[in-house]
């Protein structure tokens, strides 16, 4: 018999967060999150996502053992402003038992029907800065801190339950050796002169802070046309600013400004923390912090997390300025591998940015949809 229980206490939330640690114990490719970070993500008093969303967290039990978990989420900005009558599910992990998946998803359906929503989509988080998608290819590659890993049967469960593909995301990588400076060193001076642009680099995080709000404004405008996009609000900007900016190497954040100091392009790259997080095993102390700090300083792999260009400057070669600055930084750091985090398969413009570096697709993931 399968029993579903809402994880509505701190103790139960800890059980919810720790379930994947048991499910993927000693798995070579799963990257564990930090337990404290997950607790804050699910805390309605700390995560500003709850200012425009509601979420409920559920655990599945068989014979008193936890065998699955799921989050049922409504992003009310999406429902009310974009008229997408959608209930989301996320943070979904389960043993290979489709009946457990069905029982968990029933809680998502209940929330959707209660609020007169029309369909369910997932897995996905509260916003575009959360993890997204069921892994469908690339099971034998190390995951990352900003993606979910899962067993192949996850996809099979959803398809057996009548779900169909909604969106596909691609993850690409290329060796840094593929980046040839001659591809942009001639064009960059011309672009800067023509549009009166300049690059902005940083050596410490406090100097970045005055620009972060502008960056999120640009993020909202540059991604607005994507079908899955929900804008980041002012409260969320403050939260992400405090939570993440100090975590990123300042030299890995690049801005492009116009003659009036308006931001017209930005990019955020992160060192790979995957192996460090595996060593940390979900905890910063006593040794997790050391492993993460070491990775921040020494990792030879980088993840291109976000890149955005103002709509009026798209297709004008502005990203060449960003790539030239990263080439200088990566050369100095001895970077070996560049990884692109999930990008919509139908976002042709973003894929065109990378074509000169001969990237290869090494992972695919999808969100799935079902009518209520």
369 within domain boundaries: no
Tokens of 28: 């070579």
Q: What is the pLDDT of residue 227?
A: 65
41 has pLDDT over 80? yes
Verify that 208 and 261 share a domain, yes or no: yes
Verify that 192 and 143 share a domain, yes or no: no
DSSP state of 312: G
Mean pLDDT in residue range 198-219: 92
Q: What is the CA radius of gyration of the chain?
A: 21
Dump pLDDT digits (tens) for 46-73: 998 898 899 999 999 999 999 999 999 9
Mean pLDDT in residue range 195-205: 95
Q: What is the pLDDT of residue 128?
A: 81
Contact (CB, 8 A) for 75 and 47: no
Verify that 163 and 227 share a domain, yes or no: no
- Burial class, 147, CB count within 10 angstroms (exposed 0-12 / middle 13-18 / buried 19+): buried
Nearest to 72, CA basis, from 18, 124, 1: 124
Verify that 36 and 182 share a domain, yes or no: no
Residues of 64-101 as b/e, b for ≥16 C-beta within 10 angstroms? eebbbbbbbbbbebbbeeeebebbbbbbbbbbebeebb
Dump pLDDT digits (tens) for 121-154: 999 999 888 999 999 999 999 999 999 999 999 9
Nearest to 40, CA basis, from 60, 76, 14, 59: 14
Range of the domain at 113: 2-172
What's the mean per-residue pLDDT of the chain?
A: 94
Verify that 68 and 122 share a domain, yes or no: yes
Dump pLDDT digits (tens) for 324-370: 999 999 999 999 999 999 999 998 888 888 888 999 999 999 999 99
Verify that 21 and 153 share a domain, yes or no: yes
Verify that 300 and 191 share a domain, yes or no: yes
Question: Which CATH number covers residue 331?
Answer: 3.40.630.30
Domain boundary, last residue among 172, 205, 238: 172
252 within domain boundaries: yes
196 within domain boundaries: yes
Nearest to 306, CA basis, from 257, 345, 338, 343: 343
CA distance linking residue 75 with residue 339, whole number of Å: 29
247 has pLDDT over 80? no
Which range among 23-37, 179-193, 241-255 has the greatest average pLDDT?
A: 23-37
Mean pLDDT in residue range 166-175: 97
162 within domain boundaries: yes
Mean pLDDT in residue range 233-262: 87
Domain boundary, last residue among 172, 204, 238: 172
69 within domain boundaries: yes
What stretch of H or E contains 75? strand 65-75
Domain boundary, last residue among 172, 195, 218: 172
Q: Is 58 helix (H, G, I), strand (E, B) or coil?
A: strand
Q: H-type helices in 161-229, by residue range? A: 187-195, 209-223
214 within domain boundaries: yes
Percentage of the chain modeled with pLDDT above 90 = 82
Verify that 199 and 130 share a domain, yes or no: no
């Amino acid at each position: 018999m399968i029993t579903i229980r809402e994880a509505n206490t701190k103790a139960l939330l800890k059980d919810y967060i720790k379930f994947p640690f048991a499910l993927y114990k000693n798995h070579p490719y799963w990257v564990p999150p930090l337990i404290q970070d997950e607790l804050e993500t699910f805390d309605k008093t700390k995560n500003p996502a709850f200012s425009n969303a509601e979420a409920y967290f559920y655990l599945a039990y068989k014979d008193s053992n936890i065998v699955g978990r799921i989050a049922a989420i409504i992003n009310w900005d999406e429902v009310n402003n974009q008229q997408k009558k959608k209930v989301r599910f996320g943070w979904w992990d389960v043993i290979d038992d489709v009946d457990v998946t069905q029982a968990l998803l029933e809680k998502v359906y209940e929330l959707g029907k209660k609020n007169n929503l029309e369909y369910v989509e997932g897995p996905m988080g509260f916003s575009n800065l959360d993890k997204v998608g069921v892994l469908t290819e690339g099971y034998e590659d190390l995951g990352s801190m900003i993606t979910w890993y899962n067993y192949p049967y996850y996809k099979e469960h959803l398809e057996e339950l009548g779900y169909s593909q909604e969106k596909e995301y691609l993850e690409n990588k290329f060796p840094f050796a593929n980046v040839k400076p001659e591809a942009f060193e001639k064009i960059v001076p011309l672009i800067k002169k023509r549009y009166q642009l300049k690059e902005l680099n940083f050596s410490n995080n406090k100097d970045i802070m005055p620009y972060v709000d502008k960056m999120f404004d640009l993020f909202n405008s540059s991604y607005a046309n994507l079908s899955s996009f929900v804008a980041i609000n002012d409260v969320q900007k403050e939260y992400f600013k405090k939570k993440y900016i100090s975590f990123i190497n300042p030299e890995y954040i690049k801005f492009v400004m116009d003659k009036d100091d308006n931001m017209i392009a930005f990019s955020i790259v992160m060192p790979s923390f995957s192996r460090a997080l595996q060593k940390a095993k979900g905890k910063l102390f006593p040794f997790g912090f050391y492993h993460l700090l070491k990775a921040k300083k020494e990792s030879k792999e980088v993840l291109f997390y976000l890149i955005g260009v103002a709509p009026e400057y798209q297709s004008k070669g502005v990203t060449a300025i960003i790539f030239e600055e990263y080439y200088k930084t990566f050369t100095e750091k001895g970077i070996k591998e560049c990884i692109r985090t999930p990008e919509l398969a139908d976002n042709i413009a973003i894929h065109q940015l990378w074509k000169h570096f001969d990237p290869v697709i090494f992972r695919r993931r999808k969100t799935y949809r079902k009518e209520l």
